[in-house]
Chain A
Amino acid sequence: MMKRVAEWWFAPAPAERLAAVRIFVGAFAVMWVGGRLAESYAVAQLGASHWKPIGVTKILAEPLPPGVTLAIAIVTTVLLVAFTLGAAYRFTAPAAAIGILWTLTYRNSYGMVFHTENLLVLHVIALACAPAADAWAIDRRATTQPVAGYGWVLKLMAAITAVTYVLAAIAKLRLAGVAWLDGEQLRNQIAIDNLRKALLGDWIAPLATPFLDHPSGFTIFSVTTIVLELSAPIVFVHPRVARLWCLAAWGFHFGVILLMNIWFLYPLLGLAYLPLLRAERPFAWLIGWWRRRRAGNVPPATTG
C-alpha cells in the first residue's frame, strides 16, 4: 500500500512543468508584493494601536518602523524576481519564501486578515523546497534529475489547494451546520458585504442587488459552493476530472466577483490550479514560435 502511494506521489513530471509553475507563481508574487509597496507602507504607518500580530509576526512585541517594513518588502520583491528567474535558486528561493511569508503576514497583522493570498504564500514555500529551477532558469546548473523527481511538488501544491477548499466547507458546516445550505446565510453574507462596501465607498457587486431581491437562488449557490469545496480532493482521480473541477472552481470565484466584488486573483488567474494543468505548454509554444521565427529570419544561401 505504502509503495503504491509512494509510486503515485513520486510519479514523474517534466522539469519544464515545475519550472513553468515557478515562473507563473513567482511573477504573480513579484507583482503582488512589489505592486503594493506603497499600500504596505501606508498600512505600516497605521501605528501600534492597529497592530494585532498573527502567525510569524507574533515574535514581535511591537510593530516595526514603517521604513523597515518597506525595506523588507523591497528586498522580498528583489528575491522574488530572482526566484522567478531561477537565479541562485538554492539560496534565493528559501529567502524569497521567508520574505513573502513575513511581508504578507505583517500586512495582515493590522486588524484584518485577508484570505486572498494564503495559497500564494503556501505555494511559494512549497516551490522553494523543490528543484524548481532545473529548467528555464538563468543559471541552470543541474545536470541530473533529482532522485525524488519533479512531480511530487506539483502534487503537494495541488493537495494544499484542495485542503484549503475542504477547510472552507468544514468551517461553514461547523459554524452554521446544514442550515448553511438553505441559502439564507449566504444571502445575508452577500448583503452585509455589499452594504459595507456601499457605506465605505467601494464598488457594489454587479449582480448583488438583483439576486438579493430574489433570494430563492441562494439555495442553489449554497449547495453548489459546499459540493465544490468538499469535492476538491477529486482532482487526484484523473487529470480530466481535475481540469473540470478547476473550471468549476474558477467559475465559483468569478461568481464571487459578480455577487460580492471580492477578487481572489490567485485562483482567478488560474494560478491556484496550475499544478494540476500542463503549465509548461504556453512556454513551450512561445519557445517553439521564437525558434521558428529565428529560423525563418535566416537569409537564404546565395549561389553562383
Chain B
Amino acid sequence: MRPNRLFAAIISIVMIAATAEPVLRKPWEDSFPLSPYAMFAYKRPTKLTMDYAFGVTATGERRTLTPRIVGSAEVLQALTVIQRARAKNELPDLCAKIASRVADLDRYADVTEIRIVSGTHDAVDYLVRHIKGPETVRTTCRVTR
C-alpha cells in the first residue's frame, strides 16, 4: 500500500486507538491480539489447588510428565486440557490417552501407571522447602505396551 498522509494518519489513529481500547474493558476481559495484558496483575495467594497427571513406576517412584504428553506443549494449555476433562467427567479417557502416549516413549519405559490427581500445595513451601501438600487421586490407568 502507498497511502497518502491523510490515509496514513487514519491508519495510525485507528491502530493506536484499537491497541489502547482494552483499557476501557474490565482487565479480565482478555482477547487477541488486543489485550489489557492483565496476566501478572491479579492478586494471588501462594496456595494453589490444581489437577495434574504424573507417571508411577513399578517400584512406586513418581515420574513427572511433559505437558505435550497431556495434550499441548504449552504448560497452561495442558492445564486447561486436564481441567476441562475433569469438568466433563472425561478424566478416565484423558488418562487412557496419556497412557498410550507414554507407552510409545522410551524415556518413560519404566512408567507402569498414570495417575491424575488434585493437589493443594503452597507454592513457596513446595519450591523452596520441598514440602508437598495433600493430593486426592481422581483416576488411574495402566500403561500397556
Contacts and interface: CB of A to CB of B under 8 A. Distances in A.
Interface of A: 6, 9-10, 39, 42-43, 46, 49-50, 54-55, 90, 93-94, 101, 104-105, 108-115, 117-119, 121-122, 125-126, 128-131, 142, 146-148, 152-153, 155-156, 159-160, 163-164, 167-168, 170-172, 174-176, 179-180, 185-186, 188-189, 191-192, 194-202, 204, 208-209, 212-213
Nearest to B42: A175
A200 B128 contact: no
A125 B37 CA distance: 19
Given A6-B9, A118-B33, A130-B1, A111 B80 contact: yes
A133 to B, nearest CB: 10
Interface in B67-115: 67, 69-81, 84, 88, 90
Nearest to A120: B33
B31 A163 contact: no
A188 B124 CA distance: 8
A39 B68 CA distance: 9
A54 B31 contact: yes
Interface residues of B, number: 65
Contacts of A148: 3-5, 7-8
Interface in B1-21: 1-5, 7-9, 11-12, 15-16, 19-20
A226 B119 CA distance: 33
Nearest to A174: B27
Given A111-B84, A152-B8, A55 B41 contact: no
Contacts of B123: 188, 191-192, 194-195, 212
Contacts of B43: 175-176, 179, 185, 188
Given A6-B5, A93-B1, 20 more contacts: A39-B73, A109-B32, A112-B80, A113-B31, A122-B33, A130-B1, A130-B3, A147-B5, A152-B12, A156-B12, A160-B16, A172-B40, A174-B41, A179-B43, A185-B42, A192-B44, A192-B123, A196-B48, A201-B64, A212-B128
Contacts of B4: 146-148
B127 interface: yes
A33 B128 CA distance: 37
A201 B107 CA distance: 14
A101 to B, nearest CB: 7
Given A171-B41, A176-B43, A188-B46, A156 B75 contact: no
A202 B127 contact: no
Contacts of B119: 199
Interface of B: 1-5, 7-9, 11-12, 15-16, 19-20, 22-23, 27, 30-46, 48, 50, 52, 54, 64-67, 69-81, 84, 88, 90, 119, 121, 123-124, 126-128
A177 to B, nearest CB: 10
A14 B11 CA distance: 20
A269 to B, nearest CB: 18
A259 B60 CA distance: 32
A196 B50 contact: yes
B79 A200 contact: yes
A131 B2 contact: yes
Contacts of B15: 122, 125-126, 129, 156, 160
A192 B48 contact: yes
Contacts of A46: 71-72, 81
A175 B12 contact: no
Nearest to B44: A188
Name, among A43, A189, A192, A194, the residue most crowded by chain B CB atoms within 10 Å (CB to CB).
Answer: A192
